[in-house]
Amino acid sequence: MSTPNLLGNRYEVREKLGSGGMAVVYQGHDRLLERPVAIKILQENYAADEATVRRFHQEAQAVARLSHPNIVAIYDVGEEQGCHYLVMEYVSGRNLKELLKEKGTFPPDEAIQITRQICDALQHAHENGVVHRDIKPHNVLVTSGGRVKVTDFGLARAAASAEATITYPGTMLGSVHYLSPEQARGQLAGKEADIYALGVVLYEMLTGGLPFQGDSPVSVAIKHVQENPVPPRQIRPEIPAALEKVVLKAMQKDPGQRYQTAAAMGADLVRVLNAFAGPESDDTQVLTGLVAEEEEEMPRRRLRLPVWVVALVLIGVALYGLYLGWQAYWVVAEVQVPPLVQLPLSEAEKVLGQMGLKWQMGSQRYDASVPEGYVIGQDPPPNSQVKLTRPIVLDVSLGPRMTTVPPVEGETERAARLKIEQANLQVASPVRKEYSQAQPGIVVRQEPQAGSQVKEGTNVVLVVSQGQEPKPVIVPAVVGMKLEEAEKALTAAGLSLGVVREEDQDNYQVLRGYVVAQSVAANTAVDEGTSVDLGISRGPGPQAQTGSVFGIIMPDDGQQHQVRIVVRDAIGEHTEYDQTHGPGESINPTITYYGEASQAVVEVYMDGKLLHSGPIGTP
């Protein structure tokens, strides 16, 4: 399966950035918003598994709703030509694993700053019901400015059905060093597993090594379950004791003994960081959820207050906290949501910005009637009252789906129709026809031209050949001819014999089989190849009769003479006598004629010259 160069008619796939157990990552470009993106494409062996693909899309859509500065944003998810892909925010920087290989260890304050940002990302994800399950340095990106971006949210979960335990090869082999004890036991992993993995990442940044090593993934997983890590200060004594406590608390075997939220872990890291600038040593810092050092450099006197005073103070603090929370949640300005549908995205963004509102991308879908980059839906709807803190979700049009016009010139009309419909196009009606040198029924021209990019549903005009243009010919007169003679006359004129039918008229005047009518009148100009229908007599026609021609005498000039007698009667013109005679010879030939004698005419020719023309006399 080859990777397409353009996905969703929007995302250009450019150079390869890297690959993992499940997917390959490419740098891409978003044509709609003119920005760089990262495109992650599911590898072919996973793309063939329906369950993995379904979870891939479900989780991607869930993670796409996350919006946090420390999380790599997912912009889109889709499938094209068998490629299942995610479109994500492009981060210019390096992953934490690369930085670890380069630096070996991090100064405690730098390690805290990185870990604290990861805590913020995990807290946001956990609050939205998303568990990462694969926190490791490879999935943490660090920009040149120190901004941390956690990536691959949801992707590990999408593969969970195929990699639920370490007995399977693939992504789990690369992640086993960051595996929580409950994951190693094959149990369902919750947010506590992410905190454990983050503890391992912090351990690695501080010590330059992993807490557990082994000959195989299984042996490493067993150590996560059974062994305690070497305390970081035994490896690197300059690590503050309070920071070591944070690491070891995050890596507790029992999920209930770890930090219960990423925010709690982040808060302790902030306290450790602040202690660097304070007068007290690391050993005297008391952190939330931790036991303070039993030994202090100098004993201190403690002021003991009555219990009721302490209770009043605590109640007052609690009430004040509730008041501040109420203020933060409820006392927020409200505005009326403006109508944004049918606006370009850039203009909608400007309108919201002027009102102090934020927005986030909703769905992006094709729409035949709305141009690309225009808003086609919004939530909340126009004129709703919302707080300034609530983002407006905008659905954006990808424009009409485009398709390529197939080449159909030289195809039969039926084959051309099939190709056009398969390309989600339509054949314009009616189909135009014209004369050409091509065989009848062959497509000789199309519009738009083959290879053109057009909207799906566009009409394609076809011009189909009718064959060569016919020449005009004159219809001959065939009435009175025998049918065979009439057909020859029509063919010689470039016409064809059409339907032949027997007629009831003139049955006693015209012999059977003779033409009595033609569908196109004689001497009419018609196209070459036109068919002419004929009517023929049923017969029997007129009876044959005989008569004589008297007194034909040859000149006495010593030469032979040719005598020909032609009769024109009810059946037409026919020669009845044609012989040679000697000089001075006298003849009275008997001839046959049809119809009334008064309507029959006899013509006598001698040596080609007409001697007599008149009615037939009876013998």
Paired strand residues for 364? 396
Burial of 448 (0-12, 13-18, 19+ CB in 10 A): middle
Q: E strands, 138-242, where?
A: 140-143, 148-150
- How far apart CA 176 and CA 216 sit, in angstroms, is 10
Q: Within the chain, what is the greatest distance between any pair of CA atoms?
A: 181
Q: Burial code of 57-79, b = ≥16 C-beta within 10 A, e = fewer? A: bebbebbbebebebbbbbbbbbe
Answer yes or no: 194 catalytic.
no
d(C-alpha 280, C-alpha 282), whole Å: 7
DSSP state of 284: G
- Which residue reads 């597993």 in tokens? 193
How far apart are alpha carbons 21 and 10 in whole angstroms? 26
CA distance 559 to 130: 130
Residue from 134, 152, 194, 268 carrying the catalytic annotation: 134
H/E element, 433: strand 432-434
The two tokens of residue 272 are 């450790």
Gap between the Cα atoms of 184 and 179, Å rounded: 6
Return the number of other C-beta atoms located less than 10 Å from residue 160's C-beta.
18
- Residue 75's identity, in one-letter code, is Y
Instruction: Report d(CA 76, CA 9) in Å as an integer.
Output: 13
Radius of gyration of the chain (CA): 51
* CA proximity to 564, closest of 584, 581, 547, 551: 581
| 3-class DSSP assignment, residue 176 | helix
- How far out from the chain centre does Cα 247 lie? 49
Place of tokens 């039926």: 414
- Decide the pairing of beta strands 23-30 and 35-42: antiparallel
Q: Is the peptide bond before 430 cis (omega within 30 degrees of 0)?
A: yes
Distances 249 to 34, 195, 381 between C-alpha atoms, Å: 45, 10, 47
Provide the 8-state DSSP code for 369: S
Q: Rounded distance, CA 126 to CA 63, Å?
A: 11
**Which amino acids are annotated catalytic?**
134
